[in-house]
Structure 1
Amino acid sequence: MVEAGRHLLAGLELAVREVNEAGGIVGRPLELVVRDTAGDPQRAAAAVDELARLGVAALAGEYHSVVARAAAARADALGLPFLCSSAVLDALTEQPTEWVARLAPAQSHGWRIYADFLLDAGHSRIAVAAEPTVYWASGAGILRDHLAPRGGTVLELDMRALAPTAVCDELVDHRATALLLLVGSPEPAVPIVRSVRRDRRLAEIMIGAPAGQPEFAEWAKLLGDDGAAVPFLRYLPERLTPLGARVGAALRERLAEAPSFVAFEGYDTVAVLADVLRSHGTDRARIAESWPRVAVDGTRGQIRFSRTPGISVWQWAWPPVQVVDRDPAEPDRFRILHVG
């Protein structure tokens, strides 16, 4: 989560710097006030309370879905506009709200695309190594519901009870052809990958990580060649817009490595909020009322928000979605395997 947060913050900071270099918001500088949620829902709620007291015009960011849900609930209760950058959990709030909008695609949208990729690749016996959180349970349910009518089965392996070597035995016993990592990284994802890669009985099994763990450099650093050929969801187009290409180069210089899709989400968040602030000022209610009128050219296409069935917040429907992996011949290069 630390690496994802670093990329998200880099995108946010770059966009703020560019807004201010262009004259700010009606002549006033845009200030980014940062609080670290540390992947903790309680810390997130406390941060929202503090930022609201400080008088911020709007809330931005958050990568972790469970944490974003806590932030969204508190922002909704306080009447603080929240543009969520990266979290995908469908039920970001318990009830429909006017205060929250989201850039990332809903989990149900992206993970159905991933399920289609699995079927197209010939996988119908799927095992998931899962941890017991709302996010992972939601993902497993989406996969199961989408695959079952198409002849697919999903076996859930409870990682509270299984060691990585025991996962290998379960995969062999159930003749699974794909293992999906619905777990945190690096623990226990990295030990699971190492165990499966070293088990000769599982030489043909595909390892997947729909939540995007292999996107970040730490994955390749820890796993080397073992971390290649692990398909994951990535929210980038096949070709970035001209703005996206320029921003990508600036982010690469800022991060000293290739920017992840999360960095682009951070940049786009500020691009949207800056446009809203220029047009509607800093009044919180007016900002929230502006979500359906947003039309901003972002790094990955034009951003508009709408009400989407089953989604409780204003949603960009939809950002581009790819299934990619790291090329075994060149692990720093990504291969596009499927486009949603």
Structure 2
Amino acid sequence: MKAMYQAYNEEMIELSRKNGNIVLLYGDFPHGAAGELFQKEHPDRIYDVGIAEANLITTAAGLAGGGYLPFTHCHSIFAVGRAYNQIRQNVAFDKMNVKIVLCNSGMLWAFMGGSHQIIEEIAAIRAIPNMMLVSPADPISTKKATAAIARYVGPVALRISGSPVPTIYRDDFPFELGKAVALTDGGDATIIATGMVLSDALEAVDTLEKEGIKVRLLDMHTLKPIDEEAILKAARETGAIVTVEDSSIIGGLGGAVTEVVAENAPVPVKRVGIKDRFGQSGTVPELKEEYELSARHIAQAAREVIKKK
């Protein structure tokens, strides 16, 4: 088990040695290994603006305008909650090459409870024109996503969960922005997951396999632009879809997939995610049970949606 932020920092250290234009900006957030390296070796390329998230994003936009490649870091709840206007106006509107790292993203963050667990980030970010939104699932995909968004020219938000997650992928797995990854194949239904709950979806697939139910599992690591081709192929070939996310199903992955399916290939869809509720304190397993995000809930959603075919 490893935290995505640790994996992100490891990749950022490698990127910093190749790209002298990378600048790290923090909004009163732990700097991690990359920040510590920059403080020692690149002190002119690291800034901490304090608890001032709007200034964080605006400063990053200015640096991007000057030819730098800024990565911003703060709690996702504050990036979206306090700096949404700056993300919209200063970054996305002008297509600035800023990478916004949404730290401690999603609902499954046990430490701070409902005031810091963000449920609306996917819906809020994907509604902004020009923004790309990426949501890796494990340490390996986090490293690959970090490298990929550094190469991509344009505004990107990267979701990084706060809790340690299991490693799912091998180092050599192919990662391409905008293209879902198929982990399993099957014709009875498709589960489409994003972020740290991919491991729970994989466990659910194993459970269903033992029952004779063959399920396709897609990792939708890029939420915008979403892989419409993979979604429609799944809808037409399997006839039923379950979406899984640690965010609100209202406008989140569930909403995004349903939009694509409803307009092009209507099939039954069951959305597993946060159902119009705020978060609360608890361990990650406790939160998964309370908000019906565990493997057993995902498996049950698949059984139910198959019955609607």
Higher relative contact order, structure no. (Cα contacts within 8 Å, ≥ 6 residues apart): 1
Structure-2-length-normalised TM-score: 0.38
- Higher gyration radius (CA): 1
